[in-house]
Structures are given as structure tokens and as C-alpha cells.
Amino acid sequence: MDIAFSHTFANELDGFYQSCSPEKCTSPRLLQLNTLLAEELGLDHCLLEGEVGVALFSGNALPDNAKPIAQVYAGHQFGMFTSQLGDGRALLIGEVVDGTGTRRDIQLKGSGRTPFSRGGDGKAALGPVLREYLVSEGMHQFGIATTRALAAVGTEDWVAREDLKPRAVLTRVSASHIRVGSFEFFAAKGEWDQVRRLADYAIDRHFPEAKNSEDLYLQFFKSVLRKQAKLIADWMSVGFVHGVMNTDNMTISGETIDYGPCAFMDRYVPSTVFSSIDGHGRYAYENQPKMGQWNLAQLAKALIPLYDEEQERVIQRFVDELDRFNDCYETFWLDNMRAKFGMVSKDKGDGELVKQLLELMHQGGADFTLAFRYLADVRLDDELKFKSQFNAVVNLDDWLARWAERIERDGQSPEECADRMNTVNPIYIPRNHKIEEVLDAAVNRNDLEPFRMMLSVMSEPYSYKSGHEEYAEPSPANAEPYITFCGT
Ligand code: AMP
Ligand code: MG
């Protein structure tokens, strides 16, 4: 099959990657193909469902015009700088321009060792591949910027993790794979020409409008900051905890990337941490905006030396922008929250009203997703489901009265209001205990049906599907605290 691959990154950014071939897999088989995404990319999904797809998505036989490369980057991991990272288990095989004219990267993840693998095997296990597939596609259905999953391939090979696990390969699609850490790699070596080349490429690809600015790199920085503020505000609105917000896992494009030990919270607890490696809670739910800003400070450090002027003055300009992150984030967050709370107009008391309910949810142990979903029913005179999300300690009546008074000022009918709220408050999220069930079936029983079923439920997260109530339920109250592992 002819895929119109292009290679702007490889052609324009010599020195930013190493060419590398995928390691072959034994008896690959296509486990899942994202046919809608394939269509979006202009690829013939009927062909991809056959041998052509298996050869491509396993990396066993890439088309002649593919050009597999491993990109280099550095990164601050949990605050500590590592000067040499890079695609240790992923290969960018080419770019395609989608139906909207947007250039997208196609990358194999788990395709074997690369020059940047360090001690790792370069491979991926089936569980984490399916997990990333489910969670990234769920994220997309929420309308949140994310890398996408195009295909998952299973193999008859094994990878050594805590024990032996079946090997799989994920094909992921992204607006690009340029990370904050990509800039840090060259900045740490003082290679400012390379930083400039990368910035110019990223501006061309992601923020061409910045080229009209007299202050090009500051404008670029502002654009990245805005995208990240929006992204993190979106995560917060669905209770998502990324888990490893290291600078090598933060994209310039503003897409969520690198679904490792991430998870959605059930009960609303702002200090929620899932990752086994995040002992100090650096990347806890409530810290994500602050950590986003911290990462952006690392990007600023890499861009400031691109200016010839007196550095003090340039630093001040970047710091001023960085200081605006909070306001920018809060604005996006409040817009999201207004929609979740059924507010149409903007009132200066809205933030306070939102925070009061969040506080009650925290005190009352409410499920983050269901509390919002059932708030809409309160408009339709059904308070029971909403109130049953809270333990008996909290009294919701005062707050509900204030909320009703606020909502009524917008003049929508109760039905209109509830319908509107139900388009932004999902009923289904990829809940941890369901993901675990699905992965257990796939990995231990070779049964992919639960995975496909969950994917199908997640494809319409805002509509009730009868018979699928179990996907809406939080894990049982007595479940062990959920912990995710990075062995991805
Ligand atoms: P992550 O935490 O997934 O963002 O990965 C951090 C770094 O470790 C990246 O440079 C990855 O390419 C690398 N890495 C993670 N897992 C492996 C593996 N199995 N083999 C080689 N490199 C890996
Ligand atoms: Mg990563």
C-alpha cells in the first residue's frame, strides 16, 4: 500500500535523531485498528486490516518510503535533569498530512532497541499497549488534545517485566513528538543554533501565526504556554492524573503524551497520586498546573539565550509571561467548570460557587465524574442520585439553593440546562478497575472482547448505554488504593 509519508523532521533537523530499524516480531497479528483515525489520515483501512497493516504496524516490513528514526531529547525527571534520553523504544516512521491539512507523526512504540535505549529492551508489553490505547482514545472522546492510537499488534514474543509478559506494539499518531526536553537537550550543551533550528521548525509546524511577531521566540513561548494551560485545565475537568509530567513528557503541540502510570480518579481527593514512583506526590492531581508551569520555566531557560540583547531584560520578559500562566490556566479552568455546572453567562461569583461544591465533594467523598453527571438531574428535580454521591456528613441544600439561583439567572429551561451539562459531564470514563479487568482478560486469557467492549463504551462517553452500568460505577468502596506502575 502506498502511504504518502513525508519526513520534514528527518529532512530538516539533521542531528536531532538517529536512523534505526525496528526489531522484528514473531507472528504478529493485528489486535485493533482505529478505522476512523485511519480514514482521517487518508489511509485505506480495508488494506490496513490485512497483511499490509500487520507488516506496517509490527515494523516487520515497512514501506520503502518509511524512514524510521529515533528522536533525541533530554528531560527533567521528577525535578532532576537527565541530559540524554530520547526514543528508547519508539520510532517515528513518517509523517502524513491528514484530511484537514494537519501534519501528523506516525510512530511505532515498542519497536525494539534504539541508540537511546540505555539499559532498556526497547519493547512494550501487551497490557500497557492496550492501556494507552484505551486511555488515549478516551481522552480524545472527551475532546482533550492527545496523541492517538492507530493500531495495536500482538506478537508471540515475550518481554521481561516483573515476570514475562506478551510483547505488543502500539502505533501512535501525534501532531508531533517535539517535547520540552527536545529543547533542553541542545540547550544543556550550549548548542544554541540547534535550539534555534528546532524552535523555527516547531513554529512553522505548530504556530505559523507567531512568525508575524516581532518577538518570535517569546511569542512561541506564549503559544506553548497557552496550549499547556488549556490542556491541564482540561485534564483537571475530567479528574485525570498524568502521573509523570516530566519535561520529556510535555509536548510543544499541547497534546497529552506518554500514558504511563496515569489514571482518572474516582472519589474527589485533590492530593490523589497513582504512580508508584511518585512517592512525594510531585505530580498529584492538584499539583498539575504548578508542575506545568515549572516545565514551562525549563522551556524558557532554553529559549532565552536565543536573544542577543542583554539577558536580564529578556529573562524579565519570559518571567512576566510565565507569571501569567496562573491567570491563563484559571480562565480555561473556570470556562470548563462553568460548562460542567450548567452556567452560560459569566458571573464574578462563579469561581467561588464552583470551589464550594468541590470542597463539599472532597469532604463528602463524592465520585468526581458521577457528582457532575448527576448534578444535571437536580435541574430535573431528581436530587437523589446526586446526593447519594456524598456521605451523610455534608449538607448540600444551601449550596444547591445558591446554585439554582445562579443557574436560573441564565434563563435556560431545566431541560436545556441538563442537556447542555450532559454534553460535557461524561457518564463513562476509563475507570482503573475496569481497565485492569480488561487487561487481565487480554493478557492472561487471550480474550480481547472486554477490551473492545470498553473501547466501544468509551467511544460515546456522554450517552447512557443500557446494560453498561458497570462502566459508570466507581471501584468498590473497599477496594485497595489504586497504584499504577511505570513498567510500561
Ligand atoms: P517514559 O517514562 O515512558 O516517558 O520514558 C522515559 C525514558 O525511558 C524515555 O527516553 C524512553 O524512551 C525510555 N524507556 C522507557 N521504557 C523503555 C524500554 N522498555 N526500553 C528502552 N527505553 C525505554
Ligand atoms: Mg516519555
89 lines ligand 1 (CB under 6 A): yes
**Cα gap 52→77, rounded to integer Å:** 38
**Cα gap 322→335, rounded to integer Å:** 21
Alpha helices in 425-487 (DSSP H): 432-445, 449-458
Q: Which of 117, 157, 251 to mutate to test the pocket of ligand 1 (most atoms within 8 A of CB)?
A: 117
**Cα gap 419→268, rounded to integer Å:** 24
pLDDT in tens, 231-277: 999 999 999 999 999 999 999 999 999 998 999 999 999 999 998 89
User: What pLDDT score was predicted for residue 2?
Assistant: 83
Q: Among 216, 177, 189, 245, which residue's Cα sits nearest to residue 13?
A: 177
For residue 481, name the pLDDT band (cuts at 50, 70, 90): confident
* pLDDT above 90 for 436: yes
The dihedrals phi and psi of 204, each to the nearest 5 degrees, come to -55, -45
Under a CB-based contact definition with an 8 Å cutoff, are residues 341 and 349 in contact?
Answer: no
As beta bridge partners, residue 151 has 33, 171
Average of per-residue pLDDT across 349-357: 98
* pLDDT above 60 for 487: no
Helix axes 350-364, 397-408, angle to 10 degrees: 150
For residue 1, name the pLDDT band (cuts at 50, 70, 90): confident
Active site residue 248: yes
pLDDT in tens, 420-433: 999 999 999 999 99
User: What pLDDT score was predicted for residue 488?
Assistant: 52
Residue 208: which residues within 8 A CB-CB, separation 6 or more? Answer: none
**Of the residues 87, 157, 248, 258, which is catalytic?**
248
* pLDDT above 80 for 479: no
23 lines ligand 1 (CB under 6 A): no
User: What pLDDT score was predicted for residue 486?
Assistant: 61
350 lines ligand 1 (CB under 6 A): no
For residue 476, name the pLDDT band (cuts at 50, 70, 90): confident
244 lines ligand 1 (CB under 6 A): yes
Under a CB-based contact definition with an 8 Å cutoff, are residues 78 and 298 in contact?
Answer: no
* pLDDT above 60 for 99: yes
| Helix or strand (DSSP H, E) at 97 | strand 90-97
Cell of 128: 500497557
Residue extents of the structural domains in the chain: 8-174, 180-333
Percent of the chain with pLDDT strictly greater than 90: 94
DSSP 259: -
Q: What is the CA radius of gyration of the chain?
A: 23
Average of per-residue pLDDT across 451-469: 96
**Cα gap 166→160, rounded to integer Å:** 9
Task: Please name which ligand lies nearest the alpha carbon of 283.
Answer: 1
Atom of ligand 1 nearest to the CA of 260: 3
Mean pLDDT (the chain, rounded):
96
The dihedrals phi and psi of 149, each to the nearest 5 degrees, come to -105, 120
Atom of ligand 1 nearest to the CA of 87: 12
pTM value > 0.85: yes
Q: What is the C-alpha end-to-end distance of the chain, expressed in Å?
A: 31
**Cα gap 394→199, rounded to integer Å:** 51
Q: Among 111, 317, 116, 149, which residue's Cα sits nearest to residue 225?
A: 317
Report the separation in Å between the CA atom of 87 and the middle of ligand 1, taken as the mean of its atom positions. Answer: 7
112 lines ligand 1 (CB under 6 A): no
Q: Among 189, 182, 27, 5, which residue's Cα sits nearest to residue 94?
A: 5
pLDDT in tens, 4-32: 999 999 999 999 999 999 999 999 999 99
For residue 301, name the pLDDT band (cuts at 50, 70, 90): very high
Average of per-residue pLDDT across 137-141: 98
Atom of ligand 1 nearest to the CA of 488: 16
For residue 393, name the pLDDT band (cuts at 50, 70, 90): confident
**Residue owning grid cell 497557552:** 226
- Using CB atoms within 10 A of its CB, is residue 478 exposed (0-12), middle (13-18) or buried (19+)? exposed
Q: Give the C-alpha distances (Å, rounded to integers) separating 133 from 51, 113, 152, 155, 171.
A: 21, 22, 8, 17, 9
For residue 392, name the pLDDT band (cuts at 50, 70, 90): confident
| Helix or strand (DSSP H, E) at 194 | helix 192-206
pLDDT in tens, 40-97: 999 999 999 999 999 999 999 999 999 999 999 999 999 999 999 999 999 999 999 9
pLDDT in tens, 162-181: 999 999 999 999 999 999 99
